[in-house]
Amino acid sequence: MCGAELHSLPETVQRVARVLQDAGHDHGPVMLDDAARTAQQAADALGVALGQIAKSIIFRRKSDDAAVLVITSGDLRVDEKKVQALVCTDGGKLGRADADFVKARTGFSIGGVSPLAHAVAPVTLIDAQLSRFDEIWAAAGHPHAVFRLSPAQLQSLTGAPVHDVTVEA
């Protein structure tokens, strides 16, 4: 993406695009015709498997009010107890994050939370199940915006550790 293309994108998508560009990532944000607020909507719009959608789930760590970002495959559910054990080492609790908390901490609205370019850096975990795929897609800061990457690139871009954080089937 060149500078002129960036200016036509929503500000939140521009933030994501800049981070990707600065990191030398090959794939910038793509604007979809329809909103992809859910992993299923994104998979349908892109013509990919539901599991290839890297959904960003935000939790609230109660002990310090930190945002906890869990990036997982669209076809799986996050196991909150596993996440809590990893990020609340002081025995504290993990809670749900409402829309206002998500917007304040990430700078993104629910349905468009990117795994990077957050307003305040969250505690981030990547689900190991994303490695089932060579190519994944993540939200790019807006319900109509996504970008392509590999699980290894996701880890490199976020610096986040990879863990088993999903519910057993």
Return the half-sphere exposure (C-beta side, CA atoms, 13 A cut-off) of residue 127: 30
pLDDT the model gives residue 45:
94
pLDDT along the chain (169 residues), means of 10: 59 96 95 90 95 97 96 96 94 94 96 96 97 97 96 97 89
Sign for the pseudo-dihedral over CA of 129, 132, 135, 137: negative
Query: Would you say 48 and 68 are in contact if contact means Cβ atoms under 8 Å apart?
Result: no
Fold of 3-163: YbaK protein (3.90.960)
Report the DSSP pairing between strands 30-31 and 145-149.
antiparallel
Q: What's residue 36's pLDDT?
A: 87
Write down the domain spans for the chain.
3-163
